[in-house]
Structure 1
Amino acid sequence: MKKLRALLALTFASVALTACGTVQTPENSNTEVSEQIVYGTISAVGSRPYMVAVQRSNALTRNWCGGSLIASNWVMTAAHCVEGYTASSFKVRAGVYNLSSSTEGQTLSVSNIYIHPSYSDVGYGYDIALLKLSANVTHPNAAPGAIPSSTVDSTLVQSGQTATVSGWGLTEFGSSSNQLREVTIPITPDGSPCGGTPANTICGPYYQGKDSCNGDSGGPLARRYNSKNYILGIVSYGPTECRGQGVYTRVGKYASWIRSISGVVAQ
């Protein structure tokens, strides 16, 4: 059973996800929601400098989706987080670790949204979008992550490797947390442990019940390698239970598209 991993009310694509965990969907829909980083830990301030919060413009202390800073004025997120909305609908907060603080980090407006032209639904892949910011991120706790080259991607996205996913949302205990949380999971390019996946995705197989979940959509699946923070994946969707088998857009496979839109070159 699939569900998107976004947090607040999403009305596009006939899906409504709510912060309280209740779902109202059309008849015959199997989309459900439970928002959390499951069995993770609180991130140390400054440890995830590429992590940003993608928020609705009228709700700067609540999260909508996650995102990754990939240049001083570019953010990468999931297409399903922004589909159907205008750029003025969003703000991005960089360098923030506690969302309850309205002054922590740096808040910027979004000037343009670029959704991959082949995206139609998470079940078909291409769940990637780029946000052009209205100004440069300058906060000391924020720094871009790297887009993996084909060599780095093929090295790190292998069975037996691990990566860390981070985001905001409820914990496994059902209580909300405004603090950024993270969890390290095994990854594989083979989609069979996740029940079969679209092309150019990464599967996070079951491992001790650890997982990303709703509220984490668009956020980074990252790995430190050769002194760089590589963004290997983007949180896309997964089973309702949020105990493993999450699916992530495989960023390295979109390096050419990312460069064509933003000018950001894979490393």
Structure 2
Amino acid sequence: MYLLLLNSLLILLIGFNESNGRALNSSKLQKRIISGEDAKLFQIPYVAAVTIRKDNNWHAICTGVLVTENKVLTAAHCVEKFTASNFLIFVGVIRFYGPYSGYEQFSYVSKIDVHDGDMGSNPGLPLRDLAVLTLAVPAILTRNVQVVKLSANSAIYFDTECTITGWGTTKEGTQNFPNYLQKGETTLISTMECETYWPIMREELNAGTIICVLDKYESPSRSTTICNGDSGGPLLCGPNRDVLVGIAVAKISNCDGTWPQFYLDISRFRSWVANKLYS
């Protein structure tokens, strides 16, 4: 099975190269990890690459996270302009261009469910920026393909280190797309602390659906942060980094690590997600 998946993956990715890569000309579809490090095999088995076909190649436009064998969570703005048939989802991938590990799997998308609640008045920070993608072929769970746990209460992780991850460029304003899945450590901060950085976002932050992260333990030049391209990527907390606490939403600040970045608080959407998982 793994050999078949690997051979198929190689065929699907023919035509990719690191210069024309996967970036599309839409700032809302781009968030990337800055000052991250290469993920290792088996380290983050929940991450998905959300790709679309463009110019006869598959281009990764966002990140996602596997929540059941056939459901992937991502940001709504990653998928809202497309139909299900536009997407191919990759799981178990840590090297996008190879060499491949044999754990890679992929599936087309059969259905997209986008949250239809109030997104708020600020298009730069949508309050319910969440979508569930149904895979046409369920993933086979392995050491490098696992489903993540959903957080029941994000507050218990305040002031603790969590992991962020994504497939994007490693330097703002460049097309430096890494071959390896990128990961980094950051801190989940309280809404009150986030407001001290973003007083103009007080209304959005107090709506109860947005949480903030900030790498407080490194100098700004070395801080790990998301940037253009990591939308839909998971915020993973807990001792084993196996609890999904947030989904990366639209970026507003720059990528120098001095400003908190925004995630959707998954604990506020457990009922909605549960309903979509079995529909």
Place the TM-score, normalised by the shorter chain, in its bin. 0.7 to 0.9
Matches within 5 A, 1:29-108: 36-58=32-54, 62-101=59-98, 105-108=104-107
Count of aligned positions: 234
Aligned residue among 133, 139, 145 for 1:142: 145
Paired position in structure 2 for 1:192:
195
Quick one: distance in 2 between partners of 1:189 and 1:263? 32
Instruction: Report the Cα distance in structure 2 between the residues aligned to 1:34 and 1:139, rounded to whole angstroms.
Output: 28
TM-score, with length taken from structure 2 = 0.76
Quick check: 1:169 aligned with 2:168? yes
| 1:34 shift after superposition | 7.6
Contact kept, 8 Å, 1:90 with 1:109, in 2: the verdict is yes
Partners in 2 of 1:215 and 1:54 — Cα distance? 11
Instruction: Please tell me the residue identity of whatever aligns with 1:88.
Output: S
Q: Which digits, 9 at most, give the CA deviation of each residue in 1:19-44, with x for residues without a partner?
A: xxxxxxxxxxxx8x985311111111
Mapped to 2, the partners of 1:206 and 1:248 lie a distance apart of 14
SS in structure 1 at match of 2:155: helix
Q: Quote the Cα distance in structure 2 between the aligned partners of 1:193 and 1:222.
A: 24
Counterpart in 2 of 1:223? 237
Deviation at 1:106, TM superposition (A): 0.6
Question: How far apart in 1 are the matches of 2:57 and 2:197?
Answer: 34
Q: CA RMSD in A?
A: 2.5
Contiguous gaps of at least 5 residues in structure 2: 1-21
Are 1:248 and 2:263 matched, yes or no? yes
Counterparts of 2:145 and 2:57, CA distance in 1: 18
Instruction: Give, in whole Å, the separation in 2 of the partners of 1:194 and 1:238.
Output: 15
8 A Cα contact 1:92 1:109, kept in partner: yes
Question: 1:176-211: per-residue Cα shift (whole Å, max 9, x none)?
Answer: 212101111111231314513443111113533320
TM (normalized to structure 1)?
0.79
**Partner SS, residue 123 of structure 1:** coil
- The question of whether the paired residues in 2 share the 8 Å contact of 1:35 and 1:213 is answered with yes
Matched, 1:235 2:248: yes
Where does structure 1 lack aligned partners over 5 or more consecutive residues?
1-6, 11-15, 18-30
SS at match of 1:254: helix
Pairing 1:213–2:216 present: no
Change in 2 beyond 3 A, CA 1:74/1:64:
same
Counterpart-to-counterpart distance in 2, 1:63 and 1:34: 10
Distance 2:30 2:89 in 1: 23
Deviations 1:110-129 (A, max 9, x none): 00000101154452410111
1:128 pairs with 2:130: yes
Opposite residue 202 of structure 1, the aligned amino acid is I
In 2, Cα distance between the equivalents of 1:60 and 1:53?
A: 14
Structure that is richer in helix per residue = 2
Bigger Cα Rg = 2
